[in-house]
Amino acid sequence: MTTSPPDAFPLSQRARRVKLSANAAASGRAAALAAQGRNVLTLTSGEPDFDTPEPIKQAAVAALARGETKYTATPGTLRLREAIRAKYRRENALDYAVSQIVVANGAKQVIFQALAATLDAGDEVIVPAPYWPSFPDIVRVNDGTPVIVASDESSGFKLTPQALEQAITPRTRWLVLNSPGNPTGAVYAADELAALAEVLRRHPRVLVLWDEVYEHIWFGADAPAHLLHVAPDLRERALLVNGASKTYAMTGWRIGWGAGPQALASAMVVIQSQVSSGANAIGQAATEAALQSPDQRFVAEARSAYARRAAFVSAALDAVPGLSVHAPEGAFFVYVNCGALIGRVRPDGRPIASDTDVVDWLLDAEGVAVVDGPSYGLSPYFRLSIAAGDAVLADAVGRIGRAVAALSASGDAASARAALEAAG
């Protein structure tokens, strides 16, 4: 005799609290359409289109030849942690002991372990919106409560000291700051960081997670301000999170690191020992070479390319009636305001009722895959990645312009269809 399976597999509350990464979900839908033969431009992921520089790849080959294929120390190889320490001294005028540096399988794991080491049920983490979608879900999976604090274009999509003060409660454990930021490209100026630091001094229990993975991707005349230069007194409650993925086009190598107070670093190592142990040996050898290389031209050349692309895409989409763009100051994303399209109608008669509908229409009509604003905690927007070739981006903005032109403001589907044909 057989029994019927349960309606749903029994999952933990932890698993039920989180959802698939927004980028993964959007990329998956684009991939499904491409598999059907559609010509799809996928601008969903923050992944450099450049290849990893050849000297870094050769360092990995040399490590293989030396037989560096064994387990590594849980907090990272000593050589890589020493290279990270030297990087902080050289580039940031900060000195961390090797024992204060933890290497993991990407910056995301560093963040996960930091929160796992410090959050108890009900503890709160302040996450400014728009945010990287993993921040609130990593809080939730570690039994914490994300406290979303919205910002808007009037503040340059940056947290204000007034909003921070209002969000802090006796349960607040962390503040997350990301500069340059994903998804908006916002960069905090020194005076803005100083104002936030003044609030934090009144709340000594609140830790600061300083996400600087886009540290070298900025478009202004000078490098962005660093939190610990502006407020060095916060050092003993700040975790710096960085990695090789964005700076050196090493996303698939999966190497990230954190640097912070000794007690936190030690706890993160304990957790990592039960999660994954040490990161892969070859990736660590390659990252060591990347950080130690005297030739950092790739970093400057990539930054220049991203700046050119950001300027082009921002101007082109800002010129599309119904769209507007607050130009990014760093990272490699453009966050597009599509609020003026809400209420329009597709040629098939379906209404555009949200930014999610806008995103669906761009993919359906023109094969451009982007990510909707709700995934980042602020509507009505969509995010597209500029980590793609110039020709791809030129094609994408043209397609987006045609898709927007095809929407009918009157609700007349026939008129909208005619507009689509006229746009070519």
Note the pLDDT tens digit of each residue in 280-316: 999 999 999 999 999 999 999 999 999 999 999 999 9
Peptide bond into 380 cis (omega under 30): yes
Q: Report pLDDT for 7.
A: 59
pLDDT tens digit sequence for 237-252: 999 999 999 999 999 9
Q: What is the pLDDT of residue 43?
A: 96
Please determine, for residue 18, whether its predicted confidence score (pLDDT) is greater than 90. no
Q: Which of 226, 172, 228 is nearest to 204 (CA)?
A: 172
H-helix segments, 36-133: 54-65, 78-92, 107-118
Q: What is the CATH number of domain 54-292?
A: 3.40.640.10
Position 410 scores a pLDDT of 54
The Cα-based distances of 164 to 54, 58, 127, 360, 375 in angstroms read: 44, 46, 10, 34, 22
Domain residue ranges of the chain, discontinuous segments joined by +: 13-50+298-422, 54-292
E-only strand ranges, 237-370: 238-243, 256-259, 324-325, 333-337, 368-369
Architecture of the structural domain at 13-50+298-422 = Alpha-Beta Complex (3.90)
Please check whether residue 344 is in contact with residue 409, taking contact to mean a CB–CB distance below 8 angstroms.
yes
**Contact present, 403 and 416 (Cβ < 8 Å):** no
Mean pLDDT of 230-240: 98
So what's the pLDDT on residue 422? 52
**Residue 413 scores a pLDDT above 70:** no
CA distance 100 to 78: 12
pLDDT at 231 > cutoff 90: yes
pLDDT tens for each residue of 327-369: 999 999 999 999 999 999 999 999 999 999 999 999 999 999 9
CB burial readout 149-173, b (16+ within 10 A) else e: bebeeeebbbbbeebbeebbeeebb
Non-local (6+) Cβ contacts of 20 within 8 A are none
Q: Mean pLDDT, to the nearest integer, of 162-185?
A: 98
